Structure 1
């Protein structure tokens, strides 16, 4: 297992290196920023538009991963707890700059995000989970003036996408976090550990969930995401499964490989319209009860949900959304197939 993780860690590290709120004095009057690659700009209205808050950040030592820091991104001037996203990064994504675009987007909207790095190659999977858990809980304990644990989301990508399931269940059931709002947003998830079938089935019923997979992903078998989506105890009305396909607009290719989203490489409209917009709507629905957010994030294929932007009458491919996902490719496409003995949920692969 260590050899495999080291291999994928090196691969991903190469890829990475290549690559309504009240108004107060924390609001930034100059939020416009259009450095996206490709012809399509950021949203200018609705969900996905950049928020108005200036972003502040603080860090503290990451005790389970010496030499690194846990970072909290939050709206500048915050004096009372705000709804918070606990983010678990992918293999190789332990530099906060890899997804700074995402973290700042969340904070600009008036929410908080906690980022905890864990080592790509480590003594065990359990220790990576412990590193994430320790950082998350210390942040919540030490900064109650920033973090409101009554409204909580867990978000993760790849290894972090798989880890976010068990970590969220633990936080929701053992800590009681999220009593006034819970969400899960998992992207291209790897294998999910530290959660039993019974626990998955008995997930807190007020949890809202988005699962995303990317067409060009060659790392994580889509069956891993499909398994979690179909077997988690969340009603179909409160969860949606997204399938994102690549597009070419004005000779620019909007790719959907494993690294989406990524603000260090190919930072473009797919980050904003395919991920940030959906997260924005899911947070508004989960934390504020706004039904307009549900129609975008959990719209069950609504026009507003699936329609993507374009440039000079060339549109990006619409999002595919379903409550009954099925795999499009054989397991041989993926470095980490569902049927691997490393998958603790291998019984669900068929």
Structure 2
């Protein structure tokens, strides 16, 4: 079993990173314009914040030779609400998704990025590496991290891991008493989380689950399972599908690697992900009604509407509280009914 799983993980790494440039383009070394014809928003949710990005690193407690990095707003003089980010397989370097981390810090919040090994360790060891890194960040940097307002965010493997990690943080540590959320993208298998655990999330927990229509890596049923079985009310969670948009000179894709700053850093990052995250933070931590309408609007125009170019609108977001799979499991590399899925009994 372990050999089979390791082979699968290796294949996943190759497929996930096959589009990566040798020197990834990041927001720090490109012009103000994003890839494609649509620029980043200039105001409102999704617009860049006013803060300067600072960072501090420390050695990973369990991953020898790697550092955990905390991105934060340089101008702060008190602890700030914090997001704990769990990356996908192969995303061990913060450059893989640097745009997201910088966006969070520019908005006045903190994000902790913790690398874990892609190969050579078990899934439980990866979870432990993430958790111990987050714990050490909290212990060592109380002047930066405010644990009373906390979000967990992750992509692919990190998306699946975010539920168990959030449960530890919210239940075992009491983090997030003044605001909690989970934001997952293109979720992989969720380990270390039982049905009982899923029914015990605190009442103030919010959830956005995103899947991408062109993803051929992770079966959408994995995300659907957790979304339907977690004890968060429909008014406090939304399941969001992003579809590609084809313009005459540029295609905005909705592949497994959305979001990142290596294959393409474009309007989909800002409007499809950063905008909703920005609004979810505002609602979760500040109680903003406007934030809820954008992040968890249950299909409101403010939530689903994407920008236009020369009169052609990008595909709107598709939002539901009752998601169903649109494709057969055979479309995906990692299928819900695989023996490697600890929640195989929830596949439909």
TM over 0.5: yes
Give 1:62's aligned residue.
Answer: 60
Give 1:313's aligned residue.
Answer: 311
Contact kept? 1:214, 1:245, Cα under 8 Å: yes
Is the partner of 1:280 in helix, strand or coil?
Answer: helix
Contact kept? 1:94, 1:117, Cα under 8 Å: yes
Is the partner of 1:15 in helix, strand or coil?
Answer: coil
Give 1:194's aligned residue.
Answer: 192
**Cα distance in 2 for residues equivalent to 1:312 and 1:78:** 40
Superposed CA offset, 1:173-229 (max 9, x none): 000000000000000000000111111022111101100000000100000000010
Structure 2 unaligned blocks of 5 or more: 25-29
Contact kept? 1:122, 1:128, Cα under 8 Å: no
Say whether residues 1:52 and 2:56 are aligned partners. no
Superposed CA offset, 1:84-112 (max 9, x none): 00000001111100110000000000000
Give 1:329's aligned residue.
Answer: 327
Give 2:10's aligned residue.
Answer: 6
Contact kept? 1:249, 1:315, Cα under 8 Å: no
Superposed CA offset, 1:285-321 (max 9, x none): 0011111000000000000100000111011000000
Superposed CA offset, 1:1-40 (max 9, x none): 1111122112223333466xxxxxxxxxxxx962311110
Give 1:131's aligned residue.
Answer: 129
- Cα deviation for residue 135 of structure 1 reads 0.5
Tell me the TM-score normalised to structure 1 length.
Answer: 0.95
Give 1:158's aligned residue.
Answer: 156
Give 1:98's aligned residue.
Answer: 96
Tell me the TM-score normalised to structure 2 length.
Answer: 0.95
**Cα distance in 1 for residues equivalent to 2:19 and 2:231:** 35
**Cα distance in 2 for residues equivalent to 1:141 and 1:16:** 34
**Cα distance in 2 for residues equivalent to 1:295 and 1:249:** 28
Superposed CA offset, 1:44-90 (max 9, x none): 11100000000000100012111110000000032311000000000
Give 2:285's aligned residue.
Answer: 287
